[in-house]
A = this chain, B = another copy of it.
Amino acid sequence: MTTQQLTEQIHQKKSFLCIGLDVDLNKIPQHLLNTEDPIFEFNKAIIDATHDLAVAYKPNTAFYEAYGIKGWISLEKTIHYINEKHPEIFTIADAKRGDIGNTSSMYAKAFLEDLAFDSVTVAPYMGKDSVEPFLAVKDKFTILLALTSNEGAFDFQTKSVDGKELYKQVIETSKQWKNSENLMYVVGATKAEYFTEIRKIIPTSFLLVPGVGAQGGSLSEVCKYGMSENVGLLINSSRGIIYASQQQDFSEKAREEALKMQQEMEQILK
């Protein structure tokens, strides 16, 4: 997928919503637990109910690895289902990987080629040669952690490095890397006032924005400071949508929550 195709999809659906598929067996409706693959059945129902309102789905790999081989099978079925039924949708493996060069190549193969996600999230701590193997995959995107939505973001990311915050150094440095046009960035919604500064460095790059909803970030604030001429934002919501109800009606309730966000986004896009 290209960013142009992504922007087209955004304008068609009047939405830049990304839904996080972070499935916890303790939180899904009881009746699904009797099925052969409860995680996949849950995801399938959520996808069927929301695919016209969302432009991206983002399974976080932790929630699948926590169930071992069964979880890995559910992840594989989920991505295959999205890619077959809704090939226009942008898919994100939220894996936060990163390792020395030859090892990062293995992760890039796993997520971008074999599982055929459109993108994967990557941690920047190990620098250039840990990220470039992901960037080398054609027509795929590497979403680099810049400024995350959690409290711990203030431990290192906002600390001053040679007179500039670490997250800004990460963004600026990464622009020099090979195939940097394949970069997107994670920037948390809980820090909306930072978007202005970030847009000075990367005016048009897509930003994946967690932290709206459950974590307290404001959609309108993020859009005010972070939206670019090609929209350039993917706003993620996980728990607020997928766990809107834990009853039989979970997928309808998830749709209602997704619709609320899509309608807010439609207003903003006007």
- A49 CB within 8 Å of chain B: no
Chain B residues with Cβ under 8 A from A153's Cβ?
126-127
A124-B155 Cα distance, complex, nearest whole Å: 9
**Count of residues in A whose CB is under 8 Å from the partner chain:** 56
- A268 CB within 8 Å of chain B: no
Chain copies in complex = 2
Chain B residues with Cβ under 8 A from A24's Cβ?
106
Contact between A150 and B124 (Cβ–Cβ < 8 Å)?
no
A126-B160 Cα distance, complex, nearest whole Å: 16
Known contacts A62-B103, A106-B63: does B169 contact A151 (CB below 8 Å)? no
Chain B proximity of A6: nearest CB distance (Å): 24
Chain B residues with Cβ under 8 A from A130's Cβ?
150, 152
Contact between A69 and B60 (Cβ–Cβ < 8 Å)?
no
A22 nearest in chain B by CB position? B103
Chain B residues with Cβ under 8 A from A96's Cβ?
97-99, 123, 126
- A104 CB within 8 Å of chain B: yes
A129-B152 Cα distance, complex, nearest whole Å: 6
A131-B170 Cα distance, complex, nearest whole Å: 21
A149-B89 Cα distance, complex, nearest whole Å: 38
Identify which of residues 85-102 in chain A touch chain B, using a CB-to-CB cut-off of 8 Å. Answer: 94, 96-101
Contact between A127 and B100 (Cβ–Cβ < 8 Å)?
no
A148-B63 Cα distance, complex, nearest whole Å: 27
Chain B residues with Cβ under 8 A from A72's Cβ?
68-69, 72
Chain B residues with Cβ under 8 A from A169's Cβ?
156, 159
- A229 CB within 8 Å of chain B: no
Contact between A100 and B149 (Cβ–Cβ < 8 Å)?
yes
Contact between B154 and A127 (Cβ–Cβ < 8 Å)?
yes
- A76 CB within 8 Å of chain B: yes
- A81 CB within 8 Å of chain B: no
